[in-house]
Amino acid sequence: MKEQIQALRAELEALFAQEEAARWTERQAYEHKMVYLGKTGSISALSKGMRDVPAEERPETGKLVGELRAWAEEKFTALEEEIRARALAEKIAGEKIDVTLPGKFAETGSVHPVTLVRRELIEIFSGMGFDVYEGPEIEKDYYNFQALNIPADHPARDMQDTFFVTEEFLLRSQTSSGQIRVMENKKPPIKVLSPGRVYRSDSDATHSPMFHQMEGLVVDKGITLNDLKGLLDEFARRMFTARTKTRLRPSYFPFTEPSVEVDLSCSACGGAGCRLCKGTGWIEVLGAGMVNRRVLENCGIDPDVYTGFAFGIGLERIAMIKYGIGDIRLLFEGDVRFLKQFRN
């Protein structure tokens, strides 16, 4: 055993003395180390072979094996430190700073156009007396559909491709669910704005599976469609230009009756017809209508005493019109070249 220990030491000394050892990579040094100090390495084999050494020789032999192991570990550690130091020096030498190069400047951030629109809309409607309520994004089927006069077998459910989490819970497809929560807990008069993210399985140049809505609700005695028209006229003038006009067209929504689609005169051409409005002079921007009697009843509000109107605005839609954005996907890509246009 002593002869084996001496032979291994001599072998290791010759290994470390080689000129190429100084040029090893960390990986090569590790592989050599494992040959001697790994679980199946030569020095480890000596330790396992101690059971074959006569009992009277084991203390001295064990000491020699331990000294060999300690010496080898020290040599390999020193070699590894030398290799790392050399690699760092080479890296530093190759990364010297050229002070003649122009400096790199970090881009400053900007508020996202959808956030700009959201803030502006909240400011407009808050000035008209609206409170702001934000409901949960993971919503119950009851609030997202049933309480809005859309039971499980209602064909209007086919109008939206919904992301269901379970049979009872889903990613809300409209912020109208927040209006139900408000009407359940507050009696008229009600004037509330419900902004937030909504989700539908739809994706192309003008649709995104996640987008932002802002729903408005007014409930009180004597509320009529004329009140809705007057409010939307004021919204259009303040959001776009003083010359912007609104147009109501008959439509269908299960939670309003009568229901309307709301168009705005094109802010780009003033109604004369252009590429943005596809030559019509009008741009569709939102849906609205008088709150359906069944929706009021579902919330414990007497429809013979109170009436109300509701409207829903797509924030991406408003941003695209206001800023002339042709593809909704630009709003979600995070391209700094696009976003920095809204810095001011």
For residue range 208-240, list pLDDT tens digits in order: 889 999 999 999 999 999 999 999 999 999 999
Element (H, E) at 77: helix 58-94
| The one-letter amino acid at 87 | A
Q: CA distances (Å), 165 to each of 30, 108, 143, 224, 249, in order?
A: 51, 39, 15, 38, 35
Q: What does the alpha-carbon distance between residue 68 and residue 64 come to, in Å, rounded to a whole number? A: 6
pLDDT at 2 (0 to 100): 74
**Which stretch of 156-170, 286-300, 312-326 has the lowest confidence by average pLDDT?**
156-170
pLDDT in tens, 254-284: 999 999 999 999 877 877 888 778 888 999 9
Fold of 113-339: BirA Bifunctional Protein; domain 2 (3.30.930)
pLDDT at 123 (0 to 100): 96
More confident residue, 75 or 268: 75
Q: What does the alpha-carbon distance between residue 174 and residue 197 come to, in Å, rounded to a whole number? A: 8
In the predicted model, is pLDDT for residue 133 greater than 70?
yes
In the predicted model, is pLDDT for residue 1 greater than 70?
no
159 pLDDT band, cuts 50/70/90, is low
Taking the whole predicted model, whether its pTM rises above 0.85 is answered as no
Q: By the 8 A CB rule, do 201 and 157 touch?
A: no
| DSSP bridge partners of 164 | 170
Could you tell me where the beta strands, DSSP code E, fall in 68-151? 131-132, 138-140
301 pLDDT band, cuts 50/70/90, is very high
Q: By the 8 A CB rule, do 202 and 209 touch?
A: yes
> What are the residue ranges spanned by the domains of the chain?
2-94, 113-339
Q: By the 8 A CB rule, do 218 and 227 touch?
A: yes
